Amino acid sequence: MADGIEFTLDGVDSLIGKLEAISFETKRKTGRAALRKAGNVIVEQIKKNAQALDDPHTARSIADNAAQRWNGRMFKQTGDLAFRIGILQGAVLKKHPSTSKDAPTPHWRLLEFGTENMEAKPLVRAAANSRLTEVFNTFAINYEAGIDRAIKRAAKKGTTA
């Protein structure tokens, strides 16, 4: 289960003012794009962390399976924008795993959470925790830039954003 995160945002007063001037659809569209860019910061860090843990002598790579996906279920249920960030292809340990380049890497869970015989070496949680400030800054910058573009486009057409 995810740990709770508390934070405060300073210096986004201009962004809050612009939010009042645009439509809900524009907020959602630019928010999704900005959220994707912010999520990419975490995905890049997961890949760096995974490369340090991956065995170079095998074809299976945790870093190749790190990704983010749109969370359509949450959006349909609550209307909130959300992306899921993690390792693709599940976590089922098979008796005879594939050794191809794009093979599943379910062993990432053993590294992430540890076992009774092995200490945890978190790569996903550590990536999220280490780059939080950069993620929030990336989101705020991209969201404000997207809103500015939408306002300019609307002004050019003579409509509201």
What is the tens place of the pLDDT at every residue in 71-130?
Answer: 999 999 998 899 999 888 766 666 766 666 667 777 788 888 888 999 988 888 889 889
Average pLDDT over residues 4-25: 72
Inform me whether the pLDDT recorded for 1 exceeds 60. Answer: no
For residue 93, the model assigns a pLDDT of 66
Is residue 2 very low, low, confident or very high in pLDDT (cuts 50, 70, 90)? low
Q: Are 49 and 62 in contact (CB under 8 A)?
A: no
Q: Are 140 and 9 in contact (CB under 8 A)?
A: yes
Lowest mean pLDDT among 35-44, 45-54, 92-101, 123-132: 92-101
pTM of the model as a whole? 0.79
Nearest-5° Cα angle at 87, 82 to 90: 105
Q: Are 81 and 32 in contact (CB under 8 A)?
A: yes
